[in-house]
Structure 1
């Protein structure tokens, strides 16, 4: 089904039109980033050829040369083979190399001492693989690729649903999206009106309008809540809390838009927990320190395991009884560009990897505040859209997994033909 290729290439110094390659454990073949001078005999490989690393083939380093690398060159450590065009489709072969059955069979071909096991060209050629007819290969690959296309469409739909829902949220609040900067603008700005002399500053001055055109009044966070409290950061164990033990949240618990209870460190048994800092469902948490884009990250805690405490770099919002601000609405509002700009303009700290925002700065944040029933409807619409998007992403993941399982199970019920 395949034949060895031994096209020798003599290299002295620069490679010229040739590209040295490396093969990832995923099977992806990419150009090698090397600056040293090549010398001696090397070997050619072309799009559609198979190459593998003798030392790493058992880990998955076997793949097809892509069309994007027209002239690959390898050392003797990377045997090259050419598939027979009347027996194998490149797309079918590419999938075959990723199949678990193939990987297991390839691992069994590795010989040598522990830690230095290699797959020889002879061992690779001795592998038995299912090879249906070309028409059957086309059907198998086509069915699987159709499933991948549908999965990608589902994920695009999920992204579009979330994007549209967020745009509706912003539009209802009257917060305009930022103006995109044109590549080659024509604009006029008076020098005295520009804060600093730069392309971005002049363009911002020339194109900016009112910060928002909301039908709702701007409200200050400090006037809507009772307080912001932060927790406690003792020296903890390096692993998450286990076996019902107490843990202290890490910044990662709030950094990415949803609460992640697994982002915690176990409290040593010698220390007594401070139960007043235990996180509860319904809490709104805000990070006060992190890299710039994550300072002020805010989450609503839908649910959580017990015995998790706030760290001192995370604030918990204390809401007023019968207050005008709904917790879920605040968690969403903190993501608005209008609010993010306020946060990032008030950061302190000289380290690029750890910026801070003070409690007074957070309390001084301003944002549009609709009536409570409008807040509730806005959040309901957002949550509904996200649920729909999650459903599509789950469907996409299931489709990929099931179609691959079907492909592989069908593949290895095919008998191996005699040469």
Structure 2
């Protein structure tokens, strides 16, 4: 990971060099029978697993403990707040996080690396930031190339190099990036609240069908249901002048994804009657994952020459009774989902629904004015959500650009607290 740090106060050091100069400052978890499932209990000293270490930070979901006596046996594998943790294996290995002040001292498991940094040189927060960058990942790939299950040894990890600026610059960079992270978390909370509001608008309109006196079969609101077609296609996305067939994944996120499609082979005539158009409501008819059966997507816009597959149906509304967007919202409501789940749970392993079942589903019989009001509320919330998502994307781009500059050697001149 060579960089040009000439003219800067940054240096290149190995992880072993920035660890405390004391025995056991870098270690891995215990081997074999030293720590087994029979040692785990519901209280005591916390145990850290690979799954608790994420690029976004330490997230202790394991909830596993060992006794104080067992922890004393494993004291060589202790982790304390301020230590660096990294994964020995995974795709990729060497994901890192700081063990936080909110955790009690604990022990690590076999596939975890623990480093106790020399705090006169660096911190676990800085090392985790560096280790989770693409430039560091390139070092890891170089030592794990050709290995089916990438894994690093403690010796390999100690020899990996990291950029080390003066402590004041480390702290300033972490402060700046931390402020960006806090802003993104704040936006995430706003977006989550808006999505809850949006869902509430839909649920209030559909409600519990048991409490809605005026319901009808969905079929009475439809003009027709179009079935799709699945010829043998090429394993690539169609070019702009080619015909293609949508994959079921074009629908199952609840958003229409036109890129989830395959090219029709040259010379095979298309079926223009099942071409997808803006304003369509598409539903997944079948899927290997039960919860994705019956998911709908509204097509706001789409390239030309894309056709329905046989796992996707088009619900064509009678527009005198129901608008396309309200149809989509109703089909995505919990009231309709419960009916689909009830059918699938009673089936013999068949994760699909028929046109007959779709027509028989009970839905609220709302007048068009009420439908337009619901759609307007949902779309207003969606517009605000889209704005907040764009703000978050800009912050993420700023953060990544800053880190790219830092770790490519284009070091920013950061003013320290003295100004």
TM-score for the superposition, normalised by structure 1:
0.71
Report the Cα distance in structure 2 between the residues aligned to 1:159 and 1:112, rounded to whole angstroms. Answer: 39
Question: Residue 405 of structure 1 aligns with which residue?
Answer: 401
Question: Residue 236 of structure 2 aligns with which residue?
Answer: 239
Question: Residue 274 of structure 2 aligns with which residue?
Answer: 277
Report the Cα distance in structure 2 between the residues aligned to 1:287 and 1:281, rounded to whole angstroms. Answer: 17
Question: Residue 14 of structure 1 aligns with which residue?
Answer: 34
Deviation of residue 318 (structure 1)? 3.0
Deviation of residue 28 (structure 1)? 7.7
1:163 paired with 2:196, answer: yes
Report the Cα distance in structure 1 between the residues aligned to 2:265 and 2:328, rounded to whole angstroms. Answer: 32
Q: 1:250 to 1:12 in 2, by over 3 A?
A: closer
Q: What secondary structure is seen at the aligned counterpart in 2 of 1:384?
A: helix
Q: What secondary structure is seen at the aligned counterpart in 2 of 1:228?
A: strand
Deviation of residue 278 (structure 1)? 0.9
Report the Cα distance in structure 1 between the residues aligned to 2:97 and 2:391, rounded to whole angstroms. Answer: 30
Note the residue ranges of structure 1 that are not aligned, 5 or more in a row.
34-40, 177-209
Question: Residue 151 of structure 1 aligns with which residue?
Answer: 184
* Structure 2 residue corresponding to 1:175, chosen from 207, 223, 243: 207
Q: What secondary structure is seen at the aligned counterpart in 2 of 1:257?
A: coil
Deviation of residue 211 (structure 1)? 0.9
Q: 1:51 to 1:156 in 2, by over 3 A?
A: closer
Q: Which has more radius of gyration?
A: 1
Question: Residue 327 of structure 2 aligns with which residue?
Answer: 330
Q: Which has the higher helix share?
A: 2
Report the Cα distance in structure 2 between the residues aligned to 1:229 and 1:113, rounded to whole angstroms. Answer: 49
1:8-407 equivalent positions in 2, closer than 5 A: 13-15=33-35, 44=77, 46-47=79-80, 48-50=82-84, 61=94, 63=96, 66=99, 70-72=106-108, 81-103=115-137, 106=139, 121=155, 127=161, 129-133=163-167, 135-171=168-204, 173=205, 175-176=207-208, 211-213=210-212, 217-242=214-239, 244-290=241-287, 291-320=289-318, 323-347=320-344, 350=347, 352=349, 354-407=350-403
Report the Cα distance in structure 2 between the residues aligned to 1:223 and 1:80, rounded to whole angstroms. Answer: 64
Report the Cα distance in structure 2 between the residues aligned to 1:114 and 1:305, rounded to whole angstroms. Answer: 40
Report the Cα distance in structure 2 between the residues aligned to 1:325 and 1:175, rounded to whole angstroms. Answer: 17
- Per-residue CA deviations over 1:220-269 (Å, capped at 9, x if unaligned) read 32222221120212222333324532212222122121111122222222
Deviation of residue 382 (structure 1)? 0.5
Report the Cα distance in structure 1 between the residues aligned to 2:145 and 2:255, rounded to whole angstroms. Answer: 48
Q: 1:87 to 1:331 in 2, by over 3 A?
A: same
- Aligned-residue CA RMSD (Å): 4.1
Q: 1:130 to 1:385 in 2, by over 3 A?
A: same
Contact 1:58 1:103 in 2 (8 A): no
Q: 1:26 to 1:166 in 2, by over 3 A?
A: closer
Question: Residue 2 of structure 1 aligns with which residue?
Answer: 19
Contact 1:284 1:301 in 2 (8 A): yes
Q: 1:65 to 1:157 in 2, by over 3 A?
A: closer
Note the residue ranges of structure 2 that are not aligned, 5 or more in a row.
1-17, 40-44, 65-73, 414-419
Question: Residue 38 of structure 1 aligns with which residue?
Answer: none
Q: What secondary structure is seen at the aligned counterpart in 2 of 1:409?
A: helix
Report the Cα distance in structure 1 between the residues aligned to 2:295 and 2:145, rounded to whole angstroms. Answer: 51
Deviation of residue 390 (structure 1)? 2.2
Report the Cα distance in structure 2 between the residues aligned to 1:396 and 1:100, rounded to whole angstroms. Answer: 21
Report the Cα distance in structure 2 between the residues aligned to 1:44 and 1:386, rounded to whole angstroms. Answer: 49
Q: What secondary structure is seen at the aligned counterpart in 2 of 1:227?
A: strand
Contact 1:257 1:297 in 2 (8 A): yes
Report the Cα distance in structure 2 between the residues aligned to 1:361 and 1:392, rounded to whole angstroms. Answer: 39
Contact 2:224 2:316 in 1 (8 A): yes
Deviation of residue 151 (structure 1)? 0.5
Aligned residues: 363
Contact 1:10 1:42 in 2 (8 A): no
Which shows bigger deviation, 306-315 or 15-24?
Answer: 15-24
Report the Cα distance in structure 2 between the residues aligned to 1:339 and 1:22, rounded to whole angstroms. Answer: 39
